[in-house]
Amino acid sequence: MYIIMLGAPGSGKGTLAKELSKEYNLVHISTGDIFRENIKKQTELGKEADKYISNGLLVPDEITIGLVKSRLSEDDVKSGAILDGFPRTAKQAEELDMFIRKNNPINTVAVLLDIPDEDLIKRVVKRVTCSNKECGAIYNTEFRPSKVPGICDICGSKLVKRDDDNEETVRGRLKIYHDNSKEIIKYYEDKNILFTVKPNIYSPTVLEENISKVKGYLETHK
């Protein structure tokens, strides 16, 4: 099964994707993580991607689509994967669909986390991530704080703020998100494989609620 996670920056789709990946034993592929890893290692891909990411822009389709196709061709994702951050444009959605149909035609569902923009902005500016790549836990200093400020509950590593998590960049990213997502959401709606979750982000158990909603949907759409 392929699970495609849709939702604006800060919607919690990364956290939900991680949990679903454990639940269904599917590899979690996050294009944002792949780009950040490459930027850190200063690879050619990283240097190129950084030009766009640091300006709050999408990495061009030519780069992103090739990257995802080659990742999806690896052995560990033969039974499917959770795609987080991809597709982000209509072109990416079409290319992904063609790739799946041609190479690995298994069940595909899209999960959309639908949250109002103003709530998202509050969430993203207060987001911190575990600096330990193996862990990658995500916290929010207001809504989902770690027990000890600045320290990961799970692995004890330092929590860091992403460079692109500031209000100005976030508003820009939300605009880009809305401009592109309309088409993508419609694309999966038309295919009848879209499941929309409206999370209550003020609930302390929002993650568990989201997981159980998605599980419920998947039970009936195998």
The item of ligand ADP, Zn ion, none sharing an interface with residue 152, based on CB under 5 to 8 Å by kind, is Zn ion
The answer to whether residues 85 and 68 touch, using CB atoms and an 8 Å cutoff, is: no
How many whole angstroms separate alpha carbon 145 and alpha carbon 139? Answer: 6
| Residues numbered 27-46 forming contacts with ligand ADP, rule: CB under 6 A | 31-32, 35
Q: Does 58 bind ligand ADP (CB under 6 A)?
A: yes
The answer to whether residues 152 and 34 touch, using CB atoms and an 8 Å cutoff, is: no
- In the beta sheet, which residues pair with residue 109? 3
Q: Which of 45, 96, 130, 206 binds Zn ion (CB under 5 A)?
A: 130
How many whole angstroms separate alpha carbon 218 and alpha carbon 195? Answer: 9
Token pair 């103003």 in the structure block, residue: 118
State how beta strands 108-113 and 194-197 pair: parallel
| Residues numbered 66-95 forming contacts with ligand ADP, rule: CB under 6 A | 85-86, 88, 92
Given the residues 18, 123, 127, 144, the one annotated as active site: 127
Residues near ligand ADP (CB under 6 A):
9, 31-32, 35, 52-53, 57-59, 64, 85-86, 88, 92, 173
Residues near Zn ion (CB under 5 A):
130, 132, 135, 137, 152, 154-155, 157
Catalytic residues: 13, 88, 127, 162, 173
